[in-house]
Chain A
Amino acid sequence: MSVKAAITVNRPREGVERLWQSSEYRPEYIDGAEAAVTFVDAPGDRGTEIHVDLDHSAPAGKLGEAVQKLVGSEPRAKVMDDLRRFKQHVETGVIARSEAAPEGELAERKLKQRPAQPLDDSEVEKAGV
């Protein structure tokens, strides 16, 4: 099954490709998943499009896919997490964190959100903030 995802980063292509290769920015899931990643100039002044094509066979076929969707570990969601976090890191210098999702955008967090109130001391360490 082919998983396709894409994002647009507001930076010129050469810089984006360079950062993608660097250890500080390289996305973990996409890197470990043997995906085809292409960088394309976005139209006009929009920057760079990053296209990811992941050839993925779900363990246990259709049932496996359904379970993955339920627990939030569906491959496309994880690819999008990586792409969004890369874009945030490159464009703003930080990963967007909320009180409900202190680790930033994570597929696994979608069904298990914290309440939207500040973390206490024990939670701060766990969230890696």
Chain B
Amino acid sequence: MRATVWSGRNTVQVENVPDPRIMNDRDAIVKISSTAICGSDLHLYDGYIPTMKRGDILGHEFMGEVVETGKGVTSPEVGDRVVVPFPIACGDCWSCQHELYSVCENSNPNSGIAEKMFGHSTAGIFGYSHITGGYAGGQAEYARVPYADVGPLKIEDDLTDEQVLFLSDIFPTGFFGADLCDITDGEVIAVFGAGPWASSPSPAR
């Protein structure tokens, strides 16, 4: 398949790479219909994030159709349309059970690297350096999605890709920030870092 890979500082290129395959019973393969670039991808592009390797597939905001599932996945099913969240969460550790998905304790197979650098690992993340696991990202034709029964959000109506794609990252990220601040109706607030989501007429409303 074709995929956008990191090829050094300030260098990305589209290359032929193998198609993803099921590696675990809880995996699914998603055929990607839409994928987005995040502001944080610029840190990877500019070479500020260590542990990138030439050939890493970028991208952590994607959606598409489930085309294959591992033996342990009952939902979603093949044919379902899903938006895939950027943190990879197992659903079974204490953190996931308390809705702290971004610090899932099980999904980063390079947690040793992250612990050495930060003291504690984050969850695994699609396409965001080897510190977060070295998972292939979603700027590609297909992606392998671990713990498919936990993260992917089924889209069951006729909303377009453009209307739901931002559920993968920037909408919940912006909403979470507002939620952490306990913003209530009628308050006057300051927004720092007015990227595409913060500049739009939500989430505080």
Contact = CB atoms under 8 A, between A and B. Distances in A.
A118 B136 contact: yes
Interface string B17-51: 11111011110000000000000000000000001
A82 B17 CA distance: 32
B61 interface: no
B104 to A, nearest CB: 9
Secondary structure type dominating chain B contacts: loop
A129 B108 CA distance: 17
Interface of A: 8, 10, 45-47, 77, 80-81, 84, 87-88, 91-102, 104-105, 107, 109-110, 113-121, 124, 129
A98 B91 CA distance: 17
B154 to A, nearest CB: 21
A105 B18 contact: no
A113 B3 CA distance: 19
A56 to B, nearest CB: 18
Interface of B: 3, 5, 17-21, 23-26, 51, 53-57, 72, 90-94, 97, 105-113, 124, 127, 130, 133-137, 144, 146-147
Contact of A100 (B5, B111, B135, B147): B135
Contacts of B51: 113
Contacts of A114: 134
B93 A96 contact: no
